[in-house]
């Protein structure tokens, strides 16, 4: 459909709104110029390792039959890629396809950078869990991307050390806190885990599990709820553990953190399904000593998890071959051979539910050879992922998190005050961009 110069807000079940000074909603392959006839060449911006080898399967198979060739252009991930996509789009030169994290989709859509491919991706919705699919539709009838990989959150622990110290795997967060205290009493030089203030995605996933809705809409305005009751509960919980010294307060992904995991100074980790790859590098000496379990719950038996990471494949509004690009995006994220190659070459955990228990995922990760049902359990946990609600300035919220929570964790000060700072900065940025903001 044609786009207009008015602000366009779309309310949804997950309360994701779209809107900016330039507006979205391109949808068919005939928009923005005529599609090329004959052979088609597409460009795909992605950061996934080994994607060129995966794309070769398309170029030599289905793509060759349909005369559609895809060329991979490796990119940085995160905000760097989002900025690059938007810059290219302003010049009308964005690539045909882009890899985009789920939290970046509202930003890209509100800037009219992603096309609605609902009519061209085919019947792929059934391949994904509802909570995953809604992240690419933004709660509308449009489809702005095809899910690629997901990061359902889980609890990892040193099975041998839990047994040594008489610890039980916590089923609730209250039990988690008691486990941390029990370990600290038995072994003062050890910590159950750490609160890492350099990982905003981890905190967002924990808040998501608790029922947080950071961005919603009220009429034609955004409503920011980063300091809502659910998130305050999470902040108070972790802030309390840090303040009393029951857990460590150092950041992750540092040499010191690696050593703590490798030597057993820290014996658990709240992470996501991709953790085995990290542990293989961070704690090589403890291979076969870890186990995975569902995330502790706020209410016993609740059965809900958050998400940390995950991305999708979108078709840009600049593409002159949207239909061809959408066919490739659908193939890449639903075809069995493609998904096996993505797992092997890129180390991803597929969003496609059928792929989660087939091919590369029929056996556990090598690091977790002691847990044969690793991926069976992971697939069951993935189905319990809580809905998420992203907005157009996630980058601002995440940056403020690192600053405000970083200081609070270091000083063992009030985490809820840091949460209020996140709320204030996020609202101020929306207003600065010209969005209407509800109280």
| Per-residue pLDDT reduced to its tens digit, 30-49 | 344 445 567 999 999 999 99
Beta strands in 92-197, from DSSP E residues, in sequence order? 97-101, 146-158
Burial class (CB in 10 A: 0-12, 13-18, 19+), 66: middle
- Parallel/antiparallel/unpaired status of strands 146-158 and 307-315: antiparallel
Q: Given phi > 0 = left and psi -120 to 50 = alpha, else beta, which region is 149? A: beta
Among 18-27, 75-84, 158-167, where is mean pLDDT lowest? Answer: 18-27
Q: Which residue, chain included where needed, has tokens 């703590």?
A: 260
pLDDT, one tens digit per residue, over 301-359 is: 999 999 999 999 999 999 999 999 999 999 999 999 999 999 989 889 999 999 998 88
Spatial separation of the C-alpha atoms in residues 389 and 377, rounded to whole Å: 26
pLDDT for the residue 2: 28
Contact 374, 159 (CB under 8 A): no
Percent of the chain surpassing pLDDT 90: 81
User: 134 pLDDT band (50/70/90 cuts)?
Assistant: confident
Q: Which residue, chain included where needed, has tokens 């953190």?
A: 257
Contact 410, 212 (CB under 8 A): no
Q: What is the dihedral of CA 90, 95, 100, 103, to 10 degrees?
A: 20
pTM to 2 decimals? 0.88
Helix (H) or strand (E) holding 358: none
**pLDDT at residue 12 greater than cutoff 80:** no
Contact 4, 23 (CB under 8 A): yes
CA contacts within 13 A on the Cβ side of 176: 25
Q: Which residue, chain included where needed, has tokens 């946990």?
A: 381
pLDDT for the residue 10: 37
pLDDT, one tens digit per residue, over 164-209 is: 999 999 999 999 999 999 999 999 999 999 999 989 999 999 999 9
Spatial separation of the C-alpha atoms in residues 370 and 324, rounded to whole Å: 44
pLDDT, one tens digit per residue, over 219-248 is: 888 999 999 999 999 999 999 999 999 999
Distances (CA, A) of 380 to 309, 364, 377, 384: 18, 15, 5, 7
């Amino acid at each position: 459909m044609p786009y207009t110069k008015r602000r366009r807000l779309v309310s949804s079940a997950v309360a994701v709104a779209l809107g900016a000074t330039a507006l979205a909603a391109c949808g068919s392959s005939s928009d923005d110029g005529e599609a090329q006839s004959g052979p088609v060449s597409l460009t795909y911006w992605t950061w996934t390792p080994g994607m060129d080898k995966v794309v070769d399967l398309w170029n030599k198979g289905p793509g060759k039959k349909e005369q559609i060739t895809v060329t991979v252009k490796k990119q940085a991930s995160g905000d760097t890629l989002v900025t690059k996509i938007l810059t290219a789009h302003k010049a009308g030169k964005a690539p045909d396809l882009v890899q985009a994290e789920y939290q970046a989709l509202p930003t890209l859509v509100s800037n009219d950078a992603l096309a609605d491919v609902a009519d061209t991706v085919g019947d792929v919705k059934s391949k994904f869990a509802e909570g995953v699919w809604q992240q690419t539709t933004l709660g509308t009838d449009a489809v702005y991307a095809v899910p690629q990989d997901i990061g359902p959150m889980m609890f990892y622990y040193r099975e041998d050390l839990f047994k040594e110290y008489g610890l039980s795997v916590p089923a609730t967060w209250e039990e988690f806190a008691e486990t941390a205290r029990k370990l600290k009493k038995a072994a003062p030089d050890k910590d159950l885990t750490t609160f890492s203030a350099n990982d905003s995605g981890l905190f967002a996933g924990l808040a998501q599990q608790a029922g947080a809705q950071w961005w919603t809409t009220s009429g034609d305005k955004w409503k920011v709820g980063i300091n809502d009751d659910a998130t305050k509960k999470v902040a108070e919980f972790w802030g309390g553990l840090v303040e009393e010294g029951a857990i460590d307060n150092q950041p992750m992904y540092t040499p010191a953190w690696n050593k703590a995991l490798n030597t057993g100074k820290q014996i658990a980790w709240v992470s996501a399904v991709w953790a085995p790859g990290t542990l293989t590098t961070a704690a090589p000496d403890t291979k076969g000593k870890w186990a995975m379990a569902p995330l502790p719950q706020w209410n016993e038996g609740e059965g809900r998890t958050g998400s940390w990471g995950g991305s999708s494949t979108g078709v840009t509004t600049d593409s002159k071959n949207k239909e061809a690009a959408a066919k490739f995006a659908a193939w890449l994220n639903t075809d069995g051979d493609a998904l096996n190659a993505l797992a092997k070459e890129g180390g991803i955990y597929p969003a496609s539910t059928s792929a989660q228990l087939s091919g590369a995922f029929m056996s556990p990760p090598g690091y977790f050879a002691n847990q044969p049902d690793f991926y069976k359990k992971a697939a069951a946990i993935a189905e319990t992922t809580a809905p998420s609600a992203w907005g157009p300035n996630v980058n601002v919220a995440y940056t403020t998190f690192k600053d405000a929570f970083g200081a609070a964790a270091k000083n063992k000060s009030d985490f809820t005050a840091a949460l209020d700072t996140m709320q204030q900065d996020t609202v101020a940025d929306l207003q600065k961009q010209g969005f209407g903001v509800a109280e």
